[in-house]
């Protein structure tokens, strides 16, 4: 096993962390697919309002490569297709039947899996609708199934605050994890499985499976950080990656021939009714996960997909395909009386500007940015936390000036969108969003 230490980063010490316990939710009345939340995909619908679906029926395909399909996480009737500006498909909402029916896919026993060819497994994952769980570095697009990747990285724990604990989602699933790794070994001759040294993993499970043990603050456990730390040349920035929980879904599909719909999602944040792991349905409504209805008191923000990398969701929205956390925090946009003179013992700080840096106990955060965007003051705080050493302030400037070559030379493609530079910037510049936009623009330009 290889040990890797990532010095830079930041661990946010805040209240509302989900306990390592699970609480099952009953089956919701409806589920949804959110095509607009899947990066780069151009969806072509295969259903219409009123269509009858089984669990595993095709809902849409990617126009760019129609073999990549997205399946229904529920059996029932398409209740509504919600379009946004420019006819972007935002949601496909499915009203579930009392007795849901399922599509059957080919299944593999352990010995069949051992003898299976790469081509047959690729076909099984494509028709089973889970090819979308693979993402390709450095851009994050769904990879081309016909091209063998240089490596596949499984990240057991990204260490982003409030993501599911490996000890919870892997409990009782050792055989699925082993089967998942065997599937990956058919797809690539180089499979890396990384876990953070502070992560709890069920006893004995790591042995023979984990190839890299990483240490250091968030985002040390990220697949992109591992690639950055292990690559031998700057151009070696291609790899596929998949999360630990998604690998279990993949293994379940191949072993059972059924489209897996169970998701373990964390519910956290100071305003969540409870802080723990929720066993729910892929595409479940957020109020169903939160355990409350949409008539909540205002001034609370729903964040789907992680505190640093997630997005703000409407309270009546749904879990997207990749999301494994729902965090509920105070908005914090109220004006502070004499805020400039307060010592800030209740505000998070990386730069030690506030007295909170002296506190050891977790503190309660809100989503307020406490100020407006100003010009960069070259303080270097963004560089202090950047685990992939791309000098974010300089990459930012070249990206804003449209100097693509210079951004690339700084390491734009190594950025893992961890969000820390934005978090620590005293000038309130959303550096992460600018770099993400520049990377996506470059990728689209390359494809045209
Ligand atoms: S530049 Fe990218 S990797 Fe570095 S801190 Fe910012 S978001 Fe994270
Ligand atoms: S943290 Fe913000 S102000 Fe400081 S160097 Fe980076 S971009 Fe500039």
Q: Give me 245's structure tokens.
A: 């929980």
- Please report, rounded to a whole number, the percentage of residues in the chain having pLDDT higher than 70: 91
Query: From the centroid of its chain, how far is CA 331?
Result: 22
pLDDT for residue 338 = 42
Residue nearest to atom 1 of ligand 2 (CA): 425
The label of the residue with tokens 């909170």 reads 356
Domain boundary among 224, 246, 261: 261
DSSP codes of every residue in 84-115? -GGG-EEEEEEEEPSS--B-------HHHHHH
Rounded to the nearest 5°, which phi and psi values hold at 179?
-65, -40
Q: Where are the alpha helices (DSSP H) in 258-403?
A: 286-290, 381-385, 392-400
Ligand found nearest the CA of 224: 1
Ligand 1: residue of 226, 306, 417 to mutate (most ligand atoms within 8 A of CB) is 417
> Is there a single domain that holds both residue 256 and residue 378?
no
Continuous H helices in 257-387: 286-290, 381-385
Residue nearest to atom 4 of ligand 1 (CA): 386
pLDDT digits (tens, 9 = 90+) for 309-330: 999 999 899 999 999 999 998 8
Residues 54 and 196 in one domain: yes
Polymer length of the chain? 448
Distance 376 CA to ligand 1 centre (A): 16
Residues whose CB falls within 8 Å of the CB of residue 147, separated by 6 or more in sequence, listed in order: none
> CB within 8 A of 150, min separation 6: which ones?
188, 190, 236, 238, 239
Is residue 376 within 8 Å of 186, Cβ to Cβ? no
Answer yes or no: do 256 and 376 share one domain: no
CA distance 361 to 358: 9
- Read off the pLDDT band of 340 (50, 70, 90): very low
18 within a domain of the structure (yes/no): no
Ligand 1 site-directed mutation target among 310, 380, 386, most atoms within 8 Å of CB: 386
Higher pLDDT: 344 or 309? It is 309
> What integer is the mean pLDDT of 62-83?
97
C-alpha 152 to ligand 1 mean position (Å)? 22
Q: How would residue 355 be classed by pLDDT, with cut points 50, 70 and 90?
A: low
pLDDT at 334 over 60: no
Nearest ligand for residue 394 CA? 2
Is 273 inside a domain boundary?
no
Which of these ranges, 96-100, 181-185, 195-199, 224-228, has the smallest mean pLDDT?
Answer: 195-199
> Nearest Cα to 308, choosing from 157, 419, 221, 387?
419
Model confidence, pTM: 0.91
Cβ neighbours, 10 Å, residue 263? 23
Q: From the CA of 418, which ligand is nearest? A: 1
Name residue 215's beta-bridge partners. Answer: 5
Question: Coil, strand or helix: which one is 172?
Answer: coil
Domain boundary among 238, 261, 284: 261
The last residue of a domain, from among 245, 261, 277: 261
Residues 102 and 237 occupy one common structural domain: yes
Q: Measuring from atom 6 of ligand 1, which residue has the nearest CA?
A: 421
Q: Which residues contact 107 (CB under 8 A, 6 or more apart)?
A: 254, 255, 256, 257, 258
Per-residue pLDDT at 294: 47
Most confident of 56-65, 146-155, 174-183, 356-365: 56-65
Q: Contact 425/381 with Cβ under 8 angstroms?
A: yes
**What was the pLDDT predicted at 339?**
39
Centre a 10 Å sphere on the Cβ of residue 414 and count the other Cβ atoms it contains: 22
- Choose the weakest-confidence range: 51-60, 252-261, 328-337, 360-369: 328-337
Distance between CA atoms of residues 227 and 151, nearest Å: 9
Q: Residue 413 belongs to what domain range?
A: 372-447
The string of pLDDT tens digits covering residues 197-225 is 888 777 667 677 888 899 999 999 999 99
* pLDDT classification of 402: cutoffs 50, 70, 90: very high
Higher pLDDT: 287 or 332? It is 287
Q: Is residue 153 part of a domain?
A: yes
Instruction: Provide the pLDDT for residue 144.
Output: 96
Q: Edge-to-edge strands of the sheet including 300-304?
A: 22-24, 276-281, 262-268, 325-330, 300-304, 311-313
pLDDT at 19 > cutoff 80:
yes
Q: How far, in Å, CA of 194 to CA of 226, rounded?
A: 8
Count of the separate structural domains present in the chain: 2
Q: Tell whether the model's pLDDT for residue 336 goes beyond 80.
A: no
- Say yes or no to pLDDT of 271 above 80: yes
Residue 424 and residue 217: Cα distance in Å, rounded?
A: 14
Among protein residues, the one with the nearest Cα to ligand 1's atom 2 is 415
Pocket test for ligand 1, best of 228, 229, 413, 418 (most atoms within 8 A of CB): 418
Residue whose CA is at the smallest distance from ligand 1 atom 8? 418
> How do 30-33 and 89-96 pair as beta strands?
antiparallel
Ligand nearest to the CA of 435: 1
Predicted local distance difference test score (pLDDT) of residue 201:
74
Instruction: Tell me the CA–centroid distance for residue 416 and ligand 1, in Å.
Output: 6
pLDDT value of position 354: 56
Same domain membership, residue 190 and residue 66? yes
Give the residue, out of 433, 435, 438, with the most ligand 1 atoms within 8 A of its beta carbon, to mutate for a pocket test. Answer: 435
* Average pLDDT of the residues in 6-21: 91
Residue 295 covered by a domain:
no
Position 53 in a domain: yes
Do the domain assignments include residue 354?
no
- CA pair distance 166, 157, nearest whole angstrom: 7
| Same-domain pairing of 380 and 240 | no
Task: Classify each residue of 210-229 as buried b or exposed e, where b means 16 or more C-beta atoms within 10 Å of its C-beta.
Answer: bbbbbebbbbbbbbbbbbbb
Q: What is the pLDDT of residues 136-177, one digit of tens each?
A: 999 999 999 999 999 999 999 878 889 999 999 999 998 999
* Closest-approaching ligand to the CA atom of 436: 1
What is the pLDDT, as a whole number, of residue 158? 78
Looking at per-residue pLDDT, the higher value among 294 and 405 belongs to 405
* Residues flanking ligand 1, CB < 6 Å: 385-386, 388, 390, 392, 415-421, 431-432, 435
Would you state the pLDDT for residue 298? 60
79-135 confidence digits (pLDDT tens): 999 999 999 999 999 999 999 999 999 999 999 999 999 999 999 999 999 999 999
CA 386/CA 392 separation, integer angstroms? 7
Task: Examine the domain organization and report whether 379 and 257 are in the same domain.
Answer: no
Q: What element of type H or E holds 23?
A: strand 22-24
Q: Residue 413 above 60 pLDDT? A: yes
Residue 11 CA to ligand 2 centre (angstroms): 19
**Residue 430 belongs to a domain:** yes
Within a domain: 436: yes
List all residues whose CB is within 6 A of at least one atom of ligand 2: 376-382, 392-393, 396, 424-427, 429, 431
Residue 355 alpha carbon to ligand 1 centre in Å: 25
């Amino acid at each position: 096993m290889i040990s890797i230490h990532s010095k830079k980063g930041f661990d946010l010490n805040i209240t509302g962390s989900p306990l390592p316990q699970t609480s099952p939710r009953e089956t919701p009345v409806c589920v949804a697919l959110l095509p607009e939340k899947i990066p780069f995909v151009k969806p072509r619908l295969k259903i219409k309002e009123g269509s009858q679906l089984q669990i595993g029926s095709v809902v849409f395909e990617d126009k760019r490569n129609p073999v990549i399909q997205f399946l229904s996480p529920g059996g029932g009737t398409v209740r509504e297709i919600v379009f946004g500006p420019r006819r972007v498909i935002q949601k496909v909402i499915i009203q579930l039947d009392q007795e849901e029916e399922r599509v059957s896919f080919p299944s593999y026993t352990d010995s069949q899996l051992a003898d299976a060819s790469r081509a047959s497994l690729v076909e099984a994952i494509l028709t089973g609708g889970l090819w979308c769980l693979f993402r390709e570095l450095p851009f994050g697009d769904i990879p081309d199934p016909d091209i063998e990747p240089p490596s596949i990285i499984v990240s057991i724990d990204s260490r982003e605050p409030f993501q599911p604990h490996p000890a919870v989602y892997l409990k009782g699933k050792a055989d699925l994890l082993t089967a998942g790794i065997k599937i990956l070994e058919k797809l690539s001759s180089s499979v890396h499985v990384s876990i953070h040294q502070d992560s709890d993993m069920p006893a004995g499970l790591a042995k023979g499976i984990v190839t890299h043990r990483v240490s250091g603050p968030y985002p040390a456990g990220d697949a992109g950080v591992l690639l950055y730390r292990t690559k031998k040349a700057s151009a070696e920035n291609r790899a596929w990656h998949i999360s630990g929980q998604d690998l279990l879904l993949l293994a379940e599909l191949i072993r059972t021939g059924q489209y897996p719909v169970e998701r373990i999602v964390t519910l956290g944040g100071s305003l969540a009714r409870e802080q723990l792991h929720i066993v729910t349905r892929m595409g479940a409504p957020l109020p169903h996960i939160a355990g409350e209805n949409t008539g909540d008191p205002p001034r609370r923000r729903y964040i789907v997909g992680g505190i640093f990398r997630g997005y703000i969701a409407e309270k009546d929205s749904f879990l997207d395909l990749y999301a494994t956390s729902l965090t509920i925090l105070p908005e914090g946009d109220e004006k502070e009386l004499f805020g400039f003179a307060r010592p800030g013992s209740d505000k998070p700080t990386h730069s030690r500007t506030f007295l909170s840096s002296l506190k050891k106990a977790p503190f309660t955060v809100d989503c307020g940015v406490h100020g407006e965007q100003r010009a960069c003051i070259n303080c270097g705080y963004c560089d202090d936390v950047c685990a992939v050493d791309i000098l974010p302030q300089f990459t930012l400037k070249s990206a804003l000036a449209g100097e693509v070559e210079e951004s690339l030379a700084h390491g734009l493609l190594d950025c893992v969108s961890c969000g820390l530079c934005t978090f620590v910037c005293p000038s309130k510049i959303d550096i992460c969003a600018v770099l993400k936009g520049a990377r996506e623009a470059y990728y689209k330009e390359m494809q045209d």
